[in-house]
Structure 1
Amino acid sequence: MNKDRGVIKWTAMMLPEHVKLLREWQEEDSLVMQPELDEAQLEQININLQRAYSEASPIQLKVWEQTGIYTITGIIQKVNVHEQYVKLTDNQKILFHNIYEAILDE
Protein backbone atom coordinates (compact mmCIF):
# COMPACT_ATOMS: atom_id res chain seq x y z
CA MET A 1 0.00 0.00 0.00
CA ASN A 2 1.35 3.39 -0.98
CA LYS A 3 1.35 5.90 1.89
CA ASP A 4 1.56 9.12 -0.09
CA ARG A 5 1.45 12.39 1.86
CA GLY A 6 -0.29 14.22 -1.00
CA VAL A 7 0.01 17.98 -0.98
CA ILE A 8 2.03 18.00 2.24
CA LYS A 9 5.15 16.80 0.47
CA TRP A 10 5.01 19.71 -2.03
CA THR A 11 4.50 22.58 0.40
CA ALA A 12 8.05 22.26 1.72
CA MET A 13 9.34 23.01 -1.79
CA MET A 14 7.25 26.16 -2.26
CA LEU A 15 8.81 29.54 -1.67
CA PRO A 16 7.05 31.88 0.79
CA GLU A 17 6.47 34.31 -2.08
CA HIS A 18 4.58 31.63 -3.99
CA VAL A 19 2.44 30.77 -0.98
CA LYS A 20 1.62 34.48 -0.54
CA LEU A 21 0.65 34.83 -4.22
CA LEU A 22 -1.55 31.74 -4.04
CA ARG A 23 -3.37 33.11 -0.99
CA GLU A 24 -3.92 36.48 -2.69
CA TRP A 25 -5.22 34.73 -5.78
CA GLN A 26 -7.66 32.72 -3.66
CA GLU A 27 -8.91 35.93 -1.98
CA GLU A 28 -9.50 37.55 -5.38
CA ASP A 29 -11.62 34.58 -6.43
CA SER A 30 -13.93 35.13 -3.46
CA LEU A 31 -14.74 38.72 -4.51
CA VAL A 32 -18.15 39.34 -6.08
CA MET A 33 -18.36 41.30 -9.33
CA GLN A 34 -20.75 44.25 -9.44
CA PRO A 35 -23.96 43.42 -11.32
CA GLU A 36 -24.61 45.31 -14.56
CA LEU A 37 -27.93 47.17 -14.63
CA ASP A 38 -29.83 48.26 -17.71
CA GLU A 39 -31.79 51.50 -18.09
CA ALA A 40 -35.11 49.96 -17.07
CA GLN A 41 -33.68 48.58 -13.83
CA LEU A 42 -32.04 51.92 -12.99
CA GLU A 43 -35.32 53.72 -13.64
CA GLN A 44 -37.24 51.31 -11.39
CA ILE A 45 -34.70 51.79 -8.58
CA ASN A 46 -35.05 55.56 -8.97
CA ILE A 47 -38.86 55.41 -8.85
CA ASN A 48 -38.86 53.17 -5.77
CA LEU A 49 -36.32 55.36 -3.95
CA GLN A 50 -38.35 58.52 -4.67
CA ARG A 51 -41.59 56.89 -3.57
CA ALA A 52 -40.11 55.47 -0.37
CA TYR A 53 -38.58 58.85 0.48
CA SER A 54 -41.73 60.89 -0.21
CA GLU A 55 -44.02 58.47 1.67
CA ALA A 56 -41.49 57.69 4.45
CA SER A 57 -42.19 54.01 3.90
CA PRO A 58 -39.77 51.15 4.54
CA ILE A 59 -37.64 50.01 1.63
CA GLN A 60 -35.49 46.95 1.09
CA LEU A 61 -32.22 47.68 -0.67
CA LYS A 62 -29.97 45.06 -2.18
CA VAL A 63 -26.48 46.51 -1.97
CA TRP A 64 -23.31 45.31 -3.68
CA GLU A 65 -19.94 45.32 -1.95
CA GLN A 66 -16.80 43.52 -3.06
CA THR A 67 -17.29 40.85 -0.42
CA GLY A 68 -20.86 40.09 -1.40
CA ILE A 69 -24.41 41.28 -1.87
CA TYR A 70 -26.34 42.38 1.20
CA THR A 71 -29.96 43.24 1.94
CA ILE A 72 -30.63 46.34 4.04
CA THR A 73 -34.08 47.38 5.17
CA GLY A 74 -34.93 50.82 6.52
CA ILE A 75 -36.61 54.17 6.01
CA ILE A 76 -34.89 56.80 3.88
CA GLN A 77 -33.99 59.86 5.92
CA LYS A 78 -32.11 61.82 3.26
CA VAL A 79 -31.26 61.65 -0.43
CA ASN A 80 -28.14 63.58 -1.43
CA VAL A 81 -28.05 63.91 -5.21
CA HIS A 82 -24.78 65.87 -5.35
CA GLU A 83 -22.77 63.31 -3.37
CA GLN A 84 -24.96 60.46 -4.72
CA TYR A 85 -25.96 58.60 -1.59
CA VAL A 86 -29.03 57.62 0.38
CA LYS A 87 -29.04 57.96 4.16
CA LEU A 88 -31.30 55.68 6.18
CA THR A 89 -32.76 56.46 9.62
CA ASP A 90 -30.05 54.38 11.31
CA ASN A 91 -27.42 56.77 9.75
CA GLN A 92 -26.24 54.22 7.17
CA LYS A 93 -25.03 55.87 3.97
CA ILE A 94 -25.43 53.84 0.79
CA LEU A 95 -23.96 55.04 -2.47
CA PHE A 96 -26.27 55.06 -5.49
CA HIS A 97 -23.91 52.99 -7.64
CA ASN A 98 -23.85 50.21 -5.00
CA ILE A 99 -27.65 49.75 -5.02
CA TYR A 100 -28.72 47.15 -7.53
CA GLU A 101 -32.32 46.58 -6.38
CA ALA A 102 -34.87 48.59 -4.38
CA ILE A 103 -38.09 46.95 -3.22
CA LEU A 104 -40.83 48.81 -1.39
CA ASP A 105 -42.06 47.13 1.80
CA GLU A 106 -45.80 47.63 1.85
Structure 2
Amino acid sequence: MLKDRGTIKWNALMLPEHVKLLRDWKNNDEFSPAPDLSEWELEHIERMISHAFWQKCSVQIFTHEGSDRHCYEGVITKLDTNHRSLVLNGEQRISFSHIYCVEAEACD
Protein backbone atom coordinates (compact mmCIF):
# COMPACT_ATOMS: atom_id res chain seq x y z
CA MET A 1 0.00 0.00 0.00
CA LEU A 2 1.30 3.42 -0.99
CA LYS A 3 1.48 5.93 1.87
CA ASP A 4 1.26 9.40 0.33
CA ARG A 5 2.20 12.22 2.71
CA GLY A 6 0.58 14.92 0.56
CA THR A 7 2.20 18.33 0.68
CA ILE A 8 4.44 17.38 3.61
CA LYS A 9 6.93 15.76 1.25
CA TRP A 10 7.26 19.00 -0.76
CA ASN A 11 7.99 21.24 2.24
CA ALA A 12 11.57 19.94 2.42
CA LEU A 13 12.21 21.40 -1.05
CA MET A 14 11.08 24.91 -0.07
CA LEU A 15 13.33 27.45 1.58
CA PRO A 16 12.06 29.11 4.77
CA GLU A 17 12.08 32.46 2.93
CA HIS A 18 9.74 31.04 0.31
CA VAL A 19 7.38 29.66 2.94
CA LYS A 20 7.27 33.07 4.68
CA LEU A 21 6.60 34.85 1.37
CA LEU A 22 3.79 32.43 0.54
CA ARG A 23 2.18 32.98 3.96
CA ASP A 24 2.45 36.77 3.58
CA TRP A 25 1.00 36.58 0.08
CA LYS A 26 -1.94 34.50 1.32
CA ASN A 27 -2.66 36.93 4.17
CA ASN A 28 -2.52 39.96 1.87
CA ASP A 29 -4.62 38.26 -0.78
CA GLU A 30 -7.54 37.81 1.63
CA PHE A 31 -7.44 41.46 2.77
CA SER A 32 -9.82 43.84 1.06
CA PRO A 33 -9.67 47.53 1.97
CA ALA A 34 -12.69 49.34 3.36
CA PRO A 35 -14.72 51.07 0.65
CA ASP A 36 -14.29 54.84 0.41
CA LEU A 37 -17.71 56.46 0.73
CA SER A 38 -18.50 59.89 -0.62
CA GLU A 39 -20.39 62.50 1.39
CA TRP A 40 -23.56 61.75 -0.61
CA GLU A 41 -23.33 58.04 0.09
CA LEU A 42 -22.86 58.73 3.81
CA GLU A 43 -25.92 61.01 3.82
CA HIS A 44 -27.94 58.35 2.00
CA ILE A 45 -26.93 55.72 4.58
CA GLU A 46 -27.83 58.13 7.38
CA ARG A 47 -31.27 58.80 5.86
CA MET A 48 -31.92 55.07 5.34
CA ILE A 49 -30.98 54.27 8.96
CA SER A 50 -33.12 57.11 10.32
CA HIS A 51 -36.12 56.14 8.18
CA ALA A 52 -35.81 52.45 9.08
CA PHE A 53 -35.54 53.29 12.78
CA TRP A 54 -38.61 55.54 12.94
CA GLN A 55 -40.75 53.34 10.68
CA LYS A 56 -39.53 50.08 12.30
CA CYS A 57 -38.62 48.64 8.90
CA SER A 58 -36.57 45.51 8.43
CA VAL A 59 -33.08 46.35 7.12
CA GLN A 60 -29.98 44.66 5.81
CA ILE A 61 -26.79 46.32 7.03
CA PHE A 62 -23.48 45.53 5.35
CA THR A 63 -20.33 46.17 7.39
CA HIS A 64 -16.61 46.05 6.81
CA GLU A 65 -14.47 45.25 9.87
CA GLY A 66 -10.78 44.78 9.13
CA SER A 67 -10.70 42.25 6.30
CA ASP A 68 -14.11 40.77 7.18
CA ARG A 69 -17.40 41.70 5.58
CA HIS A 70 -20.67 40.92 7.33
CA CYS A 71 -24.36 41.24 6.56
CA TYR A 72 -26.80 41.82 9.42
CA GLU A 73 -30.56 41.63 9.08
CA GLY A 74 -33.28 42.85 11.42
CA VAL A 75 -35.05 45.89 12.88
CA ILE A 76 -33.12 48.81 14.36
CA THR A 77 -34.23 49.09 17.98
CA LYS A 78 -31.92 51.85 19.21
CA LEU A 79 -29.69 54.61 17.82
CA ASP A 80 -26.85 55.38 20.24
CA THR A 81 -25.27 58.69 19.20
CA ASN A 82 -22.94 58.77 22.22
CA HIS A 83 -21.21 55.55 21.15
CA ARG A 84 -21.83 56.21 17.43
CA SER A 85 -23.59 52.89 16.95
CA LEU A 86 -26.97 51.29 16.49
CA VAL A 87 -28.61 48.26 18.05
CA LEU A 88 -30.20 45.68 15.78
CA ASN A 89 -32.92 43.34 17.13
CA GLY A 90 -32.19 44.53 20.67
CA GLU A 91 -28.90 42.64 20.90
CA GLN A 92 -26.48 43.27 18.00
CA ARG A 93 -24.49 46.53 18.34
CA ILE A 94 -23.03 47.89 15.06
CA SER A 95 -20.67 50.85 14.85
CA PHE A 96 -21.54 53.56 12.31
CA SER A 97 -17.92 53.63 11.11
CA HIS A 98 -18.14 49.99 9.93
CA ILE A 99 -21.32 50.41 7.86
CA TYR A 100 -20.89 50.78 4.10
CA CYS A 101 -24.37 49.88 2.80
CA VAL A 102 -27.95 49.80 4.10
CA GLU A 103 -30.94 48.29 2.32
CA ALA A 104 -34.40 48.78 3.82
CA GLU A 105 -37.40 46.64 2.97
CA ALA A 106 -40.87 48.10 2.41
CA CYS A 107 -42.44 49.29 5.65
CA ASP A 108 -45.91 48.36 6.83
TM-score when scaled to structure 1?
0.78
3-state secondary structure, aligned to 2:78: strand
Name 2:55's counterpart in structure 1.
55
Unaligned runs of 5+ in 1: 1-7
Query: Which residue identity is paired with 2:22?
Result: L
Matched-pair contact (CA < 8 Å) for 2:78–2:90 = no
CA distance in 2, matches of 1:76, 1:12: 55
Query: Which residue identity is paired with 1:85?
Result: S
Q: 1:11 to 1:61 in 2, by over 3 A?
A: same
Name 2:44's counterpart in structure 1.
44
Q: Deviations over 1:6-52 (max 9, x none)?
A: xx77852402x542343133112211110000011000100010111
Aligned residues: 98
Which runs of structure 2 are paired with 1:68-83 in the superposition (5 Å)?
68-83=68-83
CA distance in 2, matches of 1:50, 1:92: 17
Name 1:33's counterpart in structure 2.
33
3-state secondary structure, aligned to 2:59: strand
CA distance in 1, matches of 2:57, 2:14: 60
Query: Which residue identity is paired with 1:80?
Result: D
1:69 Cα deviation after fit: 2.7
Unaligned runs of 5+ in 2: 1-8
CA distance in 1, matches of 2:10, 2:55: 64
Query: Which residue identity is paired with 1:65?
Result: E
RMSD, matched Cα: 2.1
Give the 4+ runs in structure 1 shifted more than 6 A. Answer: none
